[in-house]
A and B are shown apart, each in its own frame.
Chain A
Amino acid sequence: MSDKTINISDVVNLPLDLKEQKKALEQKSTAVLEGKVKVYDPNKDNVKNLLEMLKNRLSRQIVSSLVGCVHCGMCSDSCHYALARPHDPTMTPAYKADQIRQIFKRYIDWTGRIFPWWVHAKTPKNDEDLNRLKNIVFGTCSGCRRCTLNCPMGVDTATLVRLTRGLLTELGIVPEGVFVVDKDSWETGNQMGVSQEDYLETLEWQQEEVQAELDDPNFKISIDKEDCDFMYTVNPREIKYDPRSIGYACKIFHIAGESWTMPSFGWDQTNFGLFSGDDKLGGYIAKNLYEAAKRLRAKRIVISECGHGYRSTRWEGYNWAKYKQDIPSESVLITLIRYINQGLIKVDPSRNPLPITYHDSCNLARSGDITEEPRWILERICTDFREMYPNRSDNFCCTGGGGALSMVEYKPLRMEVAKIKADQLKATGAKLVCTSCHNCVDGLSDLIKHYKLDMQVVQILDLVAEALVIPEKDEKK
């Protein structure tokens, strides 16, 4: 375990890395050529462009959060960055939000336009200032919304951070990882750049795995089947790094006698637009999925385990795409509850005997509506469930939220502030930490390794698959 404290000026002054942007230009990336993903242009008046965009993106909700802060400082006790670095006042959420608030005050609000010094209103002077702004909003906040829910005024600091990220994304002043994922999302329709061939091959492989396990050659993962009860959508991480989770889900659906399908396109339920602040990208990815469900005449959309994917697909995506919700959508956890409750699947909790705790994903608990569902399931599929404190909408971020995992340059700071989560995990004495988010799986795994915790990360589907009683197979046994 390292007790080293990062020098924050090293983070805030990290230069703008343009290698990937240059590479994309050389390779004639379609997303770049079509102007969907912006590259940094030092010859443009980026400050002026940022100010113009800010003016056009202000909604009443955002303005109320910009004018509503009274600088009471209560938010600093709710932020894991601020709690882990009590010596560093720049970690205070109000300070981070003030970076855009100051610009708003100087450029749009009243008092700041006349007496800027009185309310600390100021405009960025040059691109270096914009780069510093980039490092603050991308590198020192995971957008977990804990400060929002703890603000006496109800100021939505996370939304202000996202707004700022979106403005900088339009100028190409973004961390390299954000640029790459945005580009891949536009070009392939999924955030990890998975080709359709790889996607279909992975599903076929999982189909064979489940066929072998169930000894049932008729088991099928149907693609683009019309008029099913639901369309199942997944995280590209499942295709690339954790295909078992798709196999587990499909096996459970099959045993429950469900009629489901997966789309050949529009299957990515995650959405990097949430992290980069790019509503256009967010709307594009979400719309792909909604259109796929419509095309297949699915009665429901079921979203696999992913915090930001659930938030994007169930909530934000419709608003970004201005797409009136016409098909109900739900987390796979709700689907699982229905199966267990209706006796469509049988589970044996004794198959998960290790002590397990649950980590609430920020996007599920604070920006979604999912807190009791995972607990209801866990109480039925394991024998030793232990709460972590604080929990539900008071839980701390895994530190991998807000797209942090794709921004490697900020990892040392991320690991330092992960101490809050590490202490929380350690206090439970659990051997397994269960979460319902692929992002959290990686975030938690990183900090478990960093802080040398004797713990492993699992997801609900892993545990349900382990506890699942397969009728014929178990009878044979």
Chain B
Amino acid sequence: MSEFLRILEDEVQIVALLFMATVYTIRLIWMFRFKAGKEVTEPVGSPRVGVAYSMMNVAMPWAMESARKNLSFYVQFVIFHLGVLMAITATLILPYWPEFFESEPIVRIFQLFMGAAFAVGLIRLIRRITSPVMRLISTPDDYFSVALLTAWFAAGVFAMPNQYEVSEWPLILFFGMTTLFLIYVPFSKISHYLYYPFTRYFLGKTMGHRGVFPRKKGGEKPAGLE
């Protein structure tokens, strides 16, 4: 392995990660500077249960009509985010535990997930370009973020065998993109995972407090029967 690739996989990634962590810390401090609204009413339900329900919503496609009625979109969502998880895991394993990728089945599993996520990324990009609704609400950041991730997945597929003795370029491309990704993410919509706990927490707290979450399906005991 060349010194360039070694530094790119190790020190450069650490610096980029530290940069991302610093920006996120500042971002969180910024978020917490805004006062949280206070609830002064007597509860009907449990805010804690509401928060838990709200946070778990992502894993309950049956609980939301938008997921229930667009199951293929939900499956795409799952594949895309599993791809992200696999790619991030790979960036952490490759430099410090390269033997892990000596197993061909493991390499194939990672490639399968990232390849599928790449396909979903392409579908999403096409949807964003062709649908009038998506075009209207999309910003350059939206296009770039999806394109960046999609390209990153493709780079990941080629980098996974970790055969730097054959060619270093797939690894240089993958880690080069990871660096760009880590620096760009805090300023882009990709950082939505940082906000997800906030939006879901507040919605869950309010709706749990009011007894709206967990959502009723029928057959629940009405108030007044106590």
Contact = CB atoms under 8 A, between A and B. Distances in A.
A277 to B, nearest CB: 14
Contact of B139 (A64, A119, A372, A390): A119
B165 interface: no
A373 B187 contact: no
B167 interface: no
A64 B31 contact: yes
B40 interface: yes
25 contacts: A60-B198, A68-B199, A70-B142, A71-B138, A89-B132, A89-B136, A92-B136, A111-B141, A119-B140, A150-B66, A319-B37, A325-B42, A330-B223, A334-B223, A337-B223, A338-B224, A369-B45, A372-B216, A372-B218, A372-B219, A372-B221, A375-B222, A392-B216, A392-B218, A393-B212
A117 interface: yes
A92 to B, nearest CB: 5
B4 interface: no
Nearest to B44: A369
B133 A89 contact: yes
A76 interface: yes
B66 A152 contact: yes
A406 interface: no
A76 to B, nearest CB: 5
Contact of A63 (B34, B58, B188, B211): B34
Q: 6 smallest A-B Cβ distances: which pairs?
A: A337-B224, A369-B211, A64-B198, A150-B66, A154-B199, A334-B224
Interface residues of A, number: 72
A61 B136 contact: no
Interface of A: 58-65, 67-68, 70-71, 73-78, 82, 89-90, 92, 94-95, 98, 110-111, 117-120, 148-156, 314-315, 318-319, 322-325, 328, 330, 333-338, 341, 365-373, 375-376, 390, 392-394
Interface stretch (B94-102, B106-114, B173-181, B189-197): B189-197
Contacts of B34: 58-60, 62-63
Nearest to A364: B212
B187 A325 contact: no
Nearest to A311: B210
B187 A111 contact: yes
Given A58-B34, A325-B40, A369-B210, A73 B131 contact: yes
Given A372-B220, A393-B215, A67 B195 contact: yes
A119 B190 CA distance: 13
B137 A95 contact: yes
A68 B196 contact: yes
A61 B203 CA distance: 8
B31 A60 contact: yes
Given A153-B200, A369-B212, A118 B195 contact: no
B222 A153 contact: no
A471 B212 CA distance: 38
Given A58-B34, A73-B131, A322-B40, 16 more contacts: A60-B198, A68-B192, A71-B139, A111-B188, A119-B141, A150-B64, A152-B66, A152-B67, A156-B199, A325-B40, A334-B222, A337-B222, A369-B223, A372-B220, A373-B223, A376-B222
A78 B66 CA distance: 7
